[in-house]
Amino acid sequence: MSFLFKSSKKQQGSALPAATRNIKSSDGSGPPSNIPSAPGHARDGSNGSPREKSQQTPTPGTSVNSLNSLGEKLQDSPQWSSEKPSNTPSPEQKALRDRADSDLQHTRMRPHHDSSPYPWSQRHLNFTVPTNHPFPRYGAAANSLASKDGSIYIMGGLIHGSTVKGDLWMIEAAPNNLSCYPVATTSEGPGPRVGHAALLVGNAFIVFGGDTKTDETDMLDDTLYLLNTSTKQWSRAAPAGPRPPGRYGHSLNIIGSKIYIFGGQVEGFFFNDLVTFDLNALQQASNRWETLIQNTIDGGPPHGQIPPARTNHSVVTWNEKLYLFGGTDGVTWFSDVWSYDPRTNSWSQLECIGYIPVAREGHAAALVGDVMYVFGGRTEEGNDLGDLAAFRITT
């Protein structure tokens, strides 16, 4: 397996530091999750604790992945509730002010006459609300795979370096241009957050996690949200039993009818657990979150058997497997590639040949055929990247 090529441009070093709020775990105390574990990965009851080594805590990433594979029956499930969550955050947050969208460098667009600038092409973005543009923003969530009608949903994120949003926008694709406009929903959505993850499954736009804290003592939101893209109504899943801890910088993917959450962070604590939820079980009273693989620090498999704990990584789904690249734990920046097989409930690190992209976090990844494309991100030195690499999974 190998990375096929790269396309890079000269970058200036960034002076934007990472966020440094020092919290021990997602709920302030670092207890292990009591979500039921998969066979072969039973918990030992040990408590997680933060690393003693000095860490630079990275900011939440925005990479999300999705498969448009399930039907519209999800919204009809009695397990979906439109109630307001108990921890509704304020639009103004203290988190992540140092890495503001307004300070990020923007690349000038190519002239219109350059119709085929390999590997990129240009699309004009039209705004229906000229005085209220959603961009730039940082740490928003979007579906990486458009709907059948070409729609992309964008929710939340940080603007102006200090204001965290919970708004929803939609981009509609046309052959030569894109239209962007705000989406009015019929019930209250997830609320302001940054660093959350999202995917589109049929007519369900699903959101989990994100930094929702307005105070150091707040709990992060651990609710699973769903937007019915037909009715524009937000709901939230209310399965019985424990939930995965709230987090940000994680990944959210789907294989079949099951969604998978891997990794992420709360400042001072990084996850490498893998948790799943079966969307088809929403209509069953017995539906539960399930921990497939627990955190190493909580008694899960050691490093070498599963990916090290990390945040701001990317994961794509191909051929009923998950493929992970990059990320950071605040001490190490990764350029490794791992594959997860749900049939054996196991991770495997892949041996890559040829060009290997520089270690990074906060990048984006998308799948085209059997090729995983990786773009951008940030290095350990704080340099923002603009390179493009492609990894052929089947080689």
- Give tens-digit pLDDT for 178-228: 899 999 998 888 999 999 999 999 999 999 999 998 888 889 999 999 999
Predicted pLDDT of residue 36: 55
Q: Which sign, positive or negative, has the C-alpha torsion 385, 389, 393, 395?
A: negative
Tokens of 311: 């945040």
Question: Could you report the per-residue pLDDT of 320-337, keeping only the tens digit for each?
Answer: 999 999 999 999 999 999
The CATH number linked to 18 is 2.120.10.80
Domain range enclosing 342: 2-39+48-392
Burial of 176 (0-12, 13-18, 19+ CB in 10 A): exposed
The distance from CA 137 to its chain's CA centroid, rounded to whole angstroms, is 15
More confident residue, 343 or 49: 343
pLDDT digit string (tens) for 62-77?
333 333 334 444 444 4
**Res 118: pLDDT:** 61
Q: Which amino acid is at 64?
A: V
Question: Bridge partners of 194?
Answer: 211
Tell me the residue ranges of DSSP E strands in 103-194: 124-127, 141-142, 151-159, 163-173, 177-182
Among candidate residues 18, 24, 32, the one with its CA nearest the CA of residue 60: 18
What total number of domains does the chain contain? Answer: 1
Rounded CA-CA distance 330/52 in Å is: 12
| CA–CA dist 253, 294 (Å, integer) | 17
d(CA 298, CA 309): 11
- Mean pLDDT confidence for 354-369: 95
Residue 153 C-alpha from the chain's centroid: 14
Average pLDDT for 1-5: 48
Separation between Cα atoms, residue 305 and residue 292, nearest integer Å: 14
3-state helix, strand, coil split of the chain in percent (to 5) is 5, 35, 60
CB contact set of 211 (below 8 Å; sequence gap of 6+) = 60, 93, 95, 96, 139, 164, 193, 194, 195, 196, 220, 248
Cα dihedral: 240, 244, 248, 252 (round 10): -80
User: Quick one: how far is CA 297 from the chain centroid?
Assistant: 22
Q: How confident is the model at residue 247 (pLDDT cuts 50, 70, 90)?
A: very high
